[in-house]
Amino acid sequence: MAEFDFDNSPEAGLKGSLRKDFFWGYATAAPQIEGAWNADGKGPSTWDILAHTPGRVIDASTADDATRSYDFFREDVKLMKSYGVNAYRFSLSWSRIIPLGGKDDPVNEAGIKFYSELIDELLAHDITPFVTLFHWDVPQALEDRYKSMLDAEKYVPDFVRYARVCFETFGGKVKHWITYNEPGVYALAGYAGGAHAPNRSSDREKYSEGDTSTEPWIVGHTQLLSHAQVYRMYKEEFAHTQHGTIGITLSGNWSAPYDATSPADIAAAQRALEFEIAWFADPVHGSGDYPASMRAQLGSRLPTFTDAEKQTVKGSSDFYGMNTYTAFFVRDKVPPGQPIPPEDHKGNLAWSDINSEGVSRGAESDTEWLRTSPWGFAKLLHWVWDRYRVPIYITENGTTAKGEHVPAPPAGDVLNDVHRIEFYRAYVGEVAKAVTEGIDIRSYFGWTLLDNWEWAKGYTDRFGVTWVDFESEEKKRYPKRSAAFNREFFEHLIAR
C-alpha cells in the first residue's frame, strides 16, 4: 500500500530518474552492530580495547553485544527485505577473520563461516552485498606489535594478505568491494583529536601518546599505499575470474564561504574541501598527489609519494565512494601572515552555523556537527563530478533525530521520525536531480539500518531507520517510518 503518494508530490517529476540497476539499501559497520566481540575465536580490535578502557566512551558502554547482529543476521536480512532494499553495505571484522591480523597469522574458520553465511543469506534474498574490508577496527595485536599504520612497511603486507584471504574466500560471490571506509576520519579522529581508537593525540591532558602534527598524515599515507596495493592485486589476480569492482570510500561534507562575496572566505571553503576530500581523492582520482594547499600548510610533515607510488595510487578506484552528511560555513581561523599551529589539521578554518547573511546551514539533528543541508549535498555532487569524473557510489548518508532516547516500547511519535524522513526526502531528491543533470550516480546507502554503537558516543546517537531496544536481551528492533518512506521513494525513483 502506497502511503506517500509520490505521483502527487514535489518529487513527481523525478519518477524513474535513477538507472534500472541502481543499488540502494543501508550501510553498517561490524564493530557497531555485530557484538560477539570475543566469540568463536575473534581477536580483540583496537575498538574493543578502547571500549574496555574507562573514560573513553561517553556513556561508558561497550560494543560487546551492540545490536547482536552476529546472532540475528538472518532476522536483519529479513528486515531489510521488508524495507525493499536491493543491496546491503557491511564491513568485515579483520580480527574475526585473522585474530592476530598479521600476514603469517592463522585464519579463523569460524569467522569465515559467519560471513559466508551472511553473504549466502543476502544472495538468497536477492540483496547484493557491498563489502568493506576496513571500517576502523584494527586487530589490537598489530597495534601492540608495531603501532599498526604508523609503520607502513610492516602494516601494508599484513593488510594485503587480509584482503587476499577475503578475495579468495568471498570473491566468488561478492562483486562490490570497498577497501577503506573514510581514511580521513579514521586518521583524524584516532591520531589528531584522539577520541577514536587508537586514542593518539598531542593532547596530553587526555592521551598519553601521539603527535597530532605528524601522525594523521602518516596514517593517511599508509591507508593510501595499502589501498592501492590491494586494488592492483585485485585487478591482476582476481578481477579476470571474479569480475567485481573495487574502490575506496571517502568522507566529505560540503564547505561554503561564510561570506560568499569575500575572496578570503571563498579560498577558505576551497581549502576546506581540499583538506577533507582532496587529501585522498586527488591522489586516487585526480593528479596522483596531495593538493597544493595541503603541501603549503603542512610542508614536510605531509609524506611524499615516489613516482612509482604515484603510479600505483593514481586511478586505483573503479568508482568514487562517497560518505556525506552535512555542510558548513567556513572562513580563516588564523589571519593571513600569522603562523598556523602545527596541530591544525583542517586547513586553518573557523566554522559557523549561519553565514554572513544569517542563513542557517540547516535544521538541527541530535548530533552536534550534523544538520540537514541538502543544498550543500547538491553542490558537493557537482564539485566531485567536475573534479574527478568517475561514477559515484553514495555509500553513506543519514541523520540522527532529537527525541529518540525513550524507554521501550517507543511511543508512536518516536517511530514516526519526521525529521529523518525530511532528511531523506531532501537528500535522495538531490541524488535524483543530480542524475538528471548528467552526474553518474549508481548507488545510495542510508546510514544506517539499525540504531547502533556510535563509536565513542556509545548508544547516545541513534542513526537507524530501525529503533533498537538496547535494554532487551534480544535487542528488539522496531521499524521507524523512514524505512517505509525510503522504500516507496526508491520504488518511485528507480526506472523499471
By CB under 6 A, tell whether 185 contacts ligand PNW.
Answer: yes
**Residue 29 vs 394, nearer CB to ligand PNW:** 29
**Residue 290 vs 447, nearer CB to ligand PNW:** 447
Instruction: Report CA-CA distances (Å) from 324 to 205, 253, 381, 396, 476.
Output: 31, 5, 10, 6, 28
**Residue 6 vs 130, nearer CB to ligand PNW:** 130
Q: Which region among 101-109, 155-163, 179-187, 428-436 touches ligand PNW (by CB under 6 A)?
A: 179-187
**Residue 290 vs 445, nearer CB to ligand PNW:** 445
SS (H, E, C) the chain: CCCCCHHHCCCHHHCCCECCCCEEEEECCHHHHCCCCCHHHCCCEHHHHHHCCCCCCCCCCCCCCCCCHHHHHHHHHHHHHHCCCCEEEEECCHHHHCCCCCCCCCCCHHHHHHHHHHHHHHHHCCCEEEEEEECCCCEHHHHHHHCHHHCHHHHHHHHHHHHHHHHHHHCCCCCEEEEEECHHHHHHHHHHHCCCCCCCCCCCCCCCCCCCCCHHHHHHHHHHHHHHHHHHHHHHHHHHHHCCEEEEEEECCEEEECCCCCHHHHHHHHHHHHHHHHHHHHHHHCCCCCCHHHHHHHHHHCCCCCHHHHHHHCCCCCCEEEECCCEEEEEECCCCCCCCCCCCCCCCEEEECECCCCCECCEECCCCCCEECHHHHHHHHHHHHHHHCCCEEEEECCCCCCCCCCCCCCCHHHHCCHHHHHHHHHHHHHHHHHHHCCCCEEEEEECCCCCCCCHHHCCCCCCCCEEECCCCCCCCEEECHHHHHHHHHHHHHECC
**Residue 146 vs 351, nearer CB to ligand PNW:** 351
By CB under 6 A, tell whether 186 contacts ligand PNW.
Answer: no
- Shortest reach from residue 19's CB to ligand PNW, in Å: 25
Q: What are phi and psi of 74, to 5 degrees?
A: -70, -40
Active site residue 396: yes
By CB under 6 A, tell whether 396 contacts ligand PNW.
Answer: yes
Active site residue 182: yes
Q: Which region among 68-76, 123-131, 158-166, 178-186 touches ligand PNW (by CB under 6 A)?
A: 178-186
By CB under 6 A, tell whether 182 contacts ligand PNW.
Answer: yes
- Shortest reach from residue 221's CB to ligand PNW, in Å: 20
Q: Is the peptide bond before 409 cis (omega within 30 degrees of 0)?
A: yes
By CB under 6 A, tell whether 251 contacts ligand PNW.
Answer: yes
**Residue 101 vs 458, nearer CB to ligand PNW:** 458
**Residue 14 vs 349, nearer CB to ligand PNW:** 349
State the catalytic residue, choosing from 396, 404, 430, 454: 396
Q: Residue 420 contacts by C-beta under 8 Å, 6 or more apart in sequence?
A: 398, 399, 401, 465, 480, 482
Site string for ligand PNW, 21-60 (x = CB under 6 A): --------x-------------------------------
By CB under 6 A, tell whether 454 contacts ligand PNW.
Answer: yes
By CB under 6 A, tell whether 325 contacts ligand PNW.
Answer: yes
Q: Which region among 93-101, 117-125, 177-185, 434-442 touches ligand PNW (by CB under 6 A)?
A: 177-185
Number of residues in contact with ligand PNW under rule CB under 6 A: 13
State the catalytic residue, choosing from 11, 34, 143, 182: 182
Which one of residues 5, 172, 369, 405 is an interface residue with ligand PNW (CB under 6 A)?
369
Which one of residues 323, 355, 365, 372 is an interface residue with ligand PNW (CB under 6 A)?
323
Per-residue cell: 310: 604515484
By CB under 6 A, tell whether 447 contacts ligand PNW.
Answer: yes
- Shortest reach from residue 189's CB to ligand PNW, in Å: 7
Q: What are phi and psi of 446, to 5 degrees?
A: -75, 145
Which one of residues 253, 255, 312, 317 is an interface residue with ligand PNW (CB under 6 A)?
253
**Residue 66 vs 100, nearer CB to ligand PNW:** 66
Q: Residue 91 contacts by C-beta under 8 Å, 6 or more apart in sequence?
A: 28, 29, 30, 131, 132, 133, 134, 135, 137, 181
By CB under 6 A, tell whether 132 contacts ligand PNW.
Answer: no
**Residue 43 vs 398, nearer CB to ligand PNW:** 398
The C-alpha angle 283, 285, 289, rounded to 5 degrees, equals 20
**Residue 105 vs 182, nearer CB to ligand PNW:** 182
- Shortest reach from residue 324's CB to ligand PNW, in Å: 8
Which one of residues 86, 181, 293, 443 is an interface residue with ligand PNW (CB under 6 A)?
181
Could you count the other beta carbons within 10 Å of the beta carbon of residue 368?
Answer: 9
By CB under 6 A, tell whether 424 contacts ligand PNW.
Answer: no
Give the footprint of ligand PNW on residues 455-474 (CB under 6 A).
Answer: 463
By CB under 6 A, tell whether 395 contacts ligand PNW.
Answer: no
Q: Which region among 56-64, 166-174, 180-188, 380-388 touches ligand PNW (by CB under 6 A)?
A: 180-188
Q: Which region among 152-160, 181-189, 334-342, 345-353 touches ligand PNW (by CB under 6 A)?
A: 181-189
- Shortest reach from residue 319's CB to ligand PNW, in Å: 17
**Residue of 152, 134, 51 lying closest to 95 (CA atoms):** 134
Catalytically active residues are 182, 396
Contact positions vs ligand PNW (CB under 6 A): 29, 181-182, 185, 251, 253, 323, 325, 369, 396, 447, 454, 463
